[in-house]
Amino acid sequence: MSERMVVIGGGAAGMSAASAARRTNPALDVVVLESTSYIAYGLCGLPYYLSGVVATADDLFAYPMERFTKDRGIDVRTAAVVTELDPDGQWVVYRMGERTLRLSYSSVVVTAGATPVHVEVPDIGADRTFAVRTLEEAIALRGLLDAGKVGSALVVGAGYIGLEMAEALVARGCSVTVVERLDQVLPTLDPEVAAVVEGHVRERVDLRLGTDACAPGLPVVDLAVVSVGVRPAATLAAVAGAQTGPAGALLVDAQMRTTLPGVWAAGDCIAPLHRVTGEPAYVPLGTTANKTGRVAGTVAAGGSASFPGIVGTAVVKVFDLEVARTGITLAEARAAGIEAVATDVVHRSRAKYYPGGSALHVRLVHGAGGRLLGAQMVGCEGAAQRIDVLATALQAGMTVGDLMALDLAYAPPYSPVYDPILIAAESAARRVEAS
Amino acid sequence: MSERMVVIGGGAAGMSAASAARRTNPALDVVVLESTSYIAYGLCGLPYYLSGVVATADDLFAYPMERFTKDRGIDVRTAAVVTELDPDGQWVVYRMGERTLRLSYSSVVVTAGATPVHVEVPDIGADRTFAVRTLEEAIALRGLLDAGKVGSALVVGAGYIGLEMAEALVARGCSVTVVERLDQVLPTLDPEVAAVVEGHVRERVDLRLGTDACAPGLPVVDLAVVSVGVRPAATLAAVAGAQTGPAGALLVDAQMRTTLPGVWAAGDCIAPLHRVTGEPAYVPLGTTANKTGRVAGTVAAGGSASFPGIVGTAVVKVFDLEVARTGITLAEARAAGIEAVATDVVHRSRAKYYPGGSALHVRLVHGAGGRLLGAQMVGCEGAAQRIDVLATALQAGMTVGDLMALDLAYAPPYSPVYDPILIAAESAARRVEAS
């Protein structure tokens, strides 16, 4: 029998793993078991499909199925739900419709993703409550929107997805109420930065902070979207004995090995190393899913690759704002017992005299000796790509003093002569000097 | 007598030096001698003032004169042309109108800037030939444009300023011919990257490469703009004995000291350290002028500061294109005897399914062991700020392998899940592995 790799999950991580494995070892038999009907679509694109910015669900597929099956020779089985993983016997059990099947493997890559946390919304039936975590669900919801059946909606949770969904529903002409249990939007930002976003959101939807889905006095709505976070789908591997860490996600080394022999993992079910804290962290994002999937597939197929970790970079479009972060927030630093302060500046995104610029809020979080620990940015332009400068600086272990010396590009249409990053770095460096 | 700092030149470097000096030592007497009538305006904004994007010349001033004179207590003398510098006697001689004056100093900062290289344009009088290096000139040219007296123009030189000027003139409805002596536009890019820009420019102006201003067959035009580069205004200090380097620019250490005691220099007349080559380089840009001016003023006033060098980052808007570079080009690497190869990719600037994206050309130049040496980018969006990621990576001494691991931000409106930088890095890393 030839060697067989089984990949559990056909999302970004799973298809990256499968493709990388076939590239690494073309003789390898690669089977992907995906629980839904679709593989390898842009999960992050669902809000834009709902808003209509993306015209059809087909547009969300990076490649047609044949690219994986015919061109890359991957055996993709959809609607295949894995129910058991036996790392000693080296087999998995999965269900397809009525049938229960067993498949032996020489290596297995767990890319089962994450499942949305469910919240009961009073007075809204299950058929009108959406998590929008799968394409099936998005298609159903888009059907309702296209049919003109949604005049009002409740969004539960004001995280990345909640606000993207609020924007999408507003774009479709809905009257939108957003409730958030916490006292701020975007809990992955520091409150002071989130406040800038909050003001922008309040102008566009009925935003209620410190409020949950059961609070009295909420308007009667046509449907609800629940986006209060996800949990890693790690149970299968955890039950089989794999060690878990933050949020119950699977612990992996830099080669994406779990603690079980012959079992790799990648994507939204793992907690990779956070390079700023030096600890594993659960930050489920598409970029990391793609990268860790590729590493897992390469290594599991006998190749060489490694994933040095994340620095916690993320960006989200919130109506007209670009909202971005990298590293750790001041709140996260304090929770982790890391000495830190935050330096905030607001500066124009372009030369003062060049039209079209707007205010860019920059927060740098820095620790002992001015070491950069994180950054947050909010503005109508210039945040989404500028944050990557700081992500790069974090990877390099720079101080705010090092940032001041960055030779950043300047032309009046794109930035002021002192980029907002340099302004923030100078302000931070002065505080470090004075301390 | 109190201590006196004389600053020669009131541009970005000079006013930065003067302001930093007053901040460092409020008791210091600071005199700025500026040869023109204006100080501290945005030189880089002149093309946008000519195009009308910037409405008035007043808009180009970062601050009103009083900010420097009253608030900061700087003695600014305009129309003051320095003719002699005596580092032993510690005095300068300058002319103001008919008068010749002598001023002693305890420290002097030379920020004389750069002067445009002149080219004679046949059949166009001196009054119709512009270098557009000073506000005076820009005001005169804008006057002609506003009066509707310019139907056609010849731009000599297709560097940054030449192409910015071509764009401005087209925006004013002129029929524009651009001649360039070399066989490519933007000689600071590699020819293969410049070719992308060339195609874009050709659709908008009559572009003639390998052609100089005296070539036969050029159209008869109403005026000419000459922008074939600048030379450092280093003569004054050089005659006084200061050592010069590339292009005749003044050599300075990290504290902006020239080789003459008591004489500092900054801005477009110096050749600071290039951190990629480890050699001094002449790259006159506004960002470096501001930074080096501040360091020179701080140190000359008794404070502590240093400038660790440039990495050669620059960006220019060329009609609808963002054109950016950092580090060194393949051609520059070869000229310097540095082993290097270039890896090119073309990738979309946004998620495939998200509308509004465009093709982004990325060239990475890398050397032994995959060390990043430089990068060039051209595209309708996403080049101007992405280049800063690579500038940061250069400062950190990263390899293309390090780049592959960057945790860059992703959301469909802003980038594909694998950012073009990561795609390019992966392609480069594969070549490094295979070699």
pLDDT of residue A62: 83
B349 vs B378: CA distance, rounded Å: 11
Q: Do the chains contact at B407 and A354, CB–CB below 8 Å?
A: no
- Smallest CA–CA distance, residue A12 to chain B, in Å, is 10
What are the structure tokens assigned to B144, written together?
């002609």
Q: Do the chains contact at B392 and A387, CB–CB below 8 Å?
A: no
| Closest-CA residue of chain B to A403 | B392
Tokens 């130049």 map to which residue? B365
**B118-226 shares its CATH topology with B320-434:** yes
Indicate the residue type of B385: Q
Q: Which of B276, B350, B388, B414 to mutate to test the interface with A (most CBs of A within 10 A)?
A: B388
Q: Do the chains contact at B414 and A48, CB–CB below 8 Å?
A: no
Minimal Cβ distance to B54: which of A48, A286, A353: A353
pLDDT of residue A169: 98
Q: What is the CA radius of gyration of chain B?
A: 23
Task: For the domain made up of B4-36+78-115+230-300, give the CATH fold.
Answer: FAD/NAD(P)-binding domain (3.50.50)
Q: Do the chains contact at B384 and A60, CB–CB below 8 Å?
A: no
State the pLDDT confidence band at B282, using cuts at 50, 70 and 90.
very high
State the pLDDT confidence band at B418, using cuts at 50, 70 and 90.
very high
pLDDT of residue B97: 93
* Average pLDDT of chain B to the nearest whole number: 96
CATH code linked to domain B118-226: 3.50.50.60
- Nearest CA to A156 among A194, A117, A127, A188? A117
pLDDT of residue A322: 98
Q: What is the pTM of this model?
A: 0.97
- The domain spans of chain B are 4-36+78-115+230-300, 118-226, 320-434
- Smallest CA–CA distance, residue B430 to chain A, in Å, is 12
Q: Which residues of B touch A382 (CB under 8 A)?
A: 385
Assembly ipTM: 0.97
Q: What is the H or E stretch that residue B374 is in?
A: strand B372-379
pLDDT of residue B435: 84
How far apart, in Å, are the Cα atoms of A247 and each of A67, A244, A278, A292, A301?
A: 35, 8, 17, 18, 28
- Transcribe A60-120 into DSSP letters: GBSS-HHIIIIIS--EEE-SEEEEEEETTTTEEEEEETTEEEEEE-SEEEE---EEEPP--
**Catalytic annotation, residues of A:** 44
Q: Do the chains contact at A322 and B392, CB–CB below 8 Å?
A: no
Minimal Cβ distance to A406: which of B315, B392, B413: B392
Minimal Cβ distance to B48: which of A317, A322, A412: A412
Minimal Cβ distance to A411: which of B44, B393, B418: B44
Q: Do the chains contact at A411 and B315, CB–CB below 8 Å?
A: yes
Q: Which residues pair with A38 in a beta bridge?
A: none
pLDDT of residue B155: 98
Q: Which of B163, B256, B275, B392 to mutate to test the interface with A (most CBs of A within 10 A)?
A: B392
pLDDT of residue B26: 96
B109 vs A121: CA distance, rounded Å: 70
- In chain A the first and final C-alpha atoms are separated, in Å, by 67
Q: Do the chains contact at B386 and A387, CB–CB below 8 Å?
A: no
Q: Do the chains contact at B384 and A322, CB–CB below 8 Å?
A: no
List of residues 6+ apart from A94 with CB closer than 8 A: A33, A77, A80, A81, A82, A83, A100, A101, A103
Tens digit of each residue's pLDDT (9 = 90 or more) over B77-130: 999 999 999 999 999 999 999 999 999 999 999 999 999 999 999 999 999 999
Q: Which residues of B touch A317 (CB under 8 A)?
A: 411, 413-414
| Closest-CA residue of chain B to A399 | B396
Torsion of CA A186, A190, A196, A201, to 10 degrees: 10
Tokens 């690219």 map to which residue? A67
Q: Which residues of B touch A44 (CB under 8 A)?
A: 351, 410-412, 417
pLDDT of residue B124: 94
- Nearest CA to A327 among A395, A406, A248, A426? A395
Tens digit of each residue's pLDDT (9 = 90 or more) over A37-90: 999 888 999 999 999 999 999 999 988 889 999 999 999 999 999 999 999 999
Minimal Cβ distance to B406: which of A45, A355, A391: A391
How far apart, in Å, are the Cα atoms of B78 and each of A338, B19, B75?
A: 52, 17, 10
Helix (H, G, I), strand (E, B) or coil at B136: helix
* B82, B234 contact by CB (below 8 A): no
pLDDT of residue B63: 86
Print pLDDT tens along chain A (435 aa).
569 999 999 999 999 999 999 999 999 999 999 999 999 888 999 999 999 999 999 999 988 889 999 999 999 999 999 999 999 999 999 999 999 999 999 999 999 999 999 999 999 999 999 999 999 999 999 999 999 999 999 999 999 999 999 999 999 999 999 999 999 999 999 999 999 999 999 999 999 999 999 999 999 999 999 999 999 999 999 999 999 999 999 999 999 999 999 999 999 999 999 999 999 999 999 999 999 999 999 999 999 999 999 999 999 999 999 999 999 999 999 999 999 999 999 999 999 999 999 999 999 999 999 999 999 999 999 999 999 999 999 999 999 999 999 999 999 999 999 999 999 999 999 999 998
pLDDT of residue A176: 98
- Considering only the C-alpha atoms of chain B, give the largest distance between any 2 of them, rounded to a whole number of Å: 71
Q: Do the chains contact at A354 and B286, CB–CB below 8 Å?
A: no
Characterize A110-143 residue by residue with b for buried, 16 or more Cβ atoms within 10 angstroms of its Cβ, and e for exposed: bbbbbbbeebebeebeeebbbbbbbbebbeebbe
Q: Which residues of B touch A58 (CB under 8 A)?
A: none
Helix (H, G, I), strand (E, B) or coil at B309: coil
List of residues 6+ apart from B52 with CB closer than 8 A: B171, B172
pLDDT of residue A435: 84
CATH architecture of A4-39+61-115+230-300: 3-Layer(bba) Sandwich (3.50)
- Nearest CA to A110 among A229, A1, A238? A238
- Smallest CA–CA distance, residue B411 to chain A, in Å, is 6
Q: Is CATH 3.40.50.720 what the domain over A320-434 is classified as, yes or no?
A: no
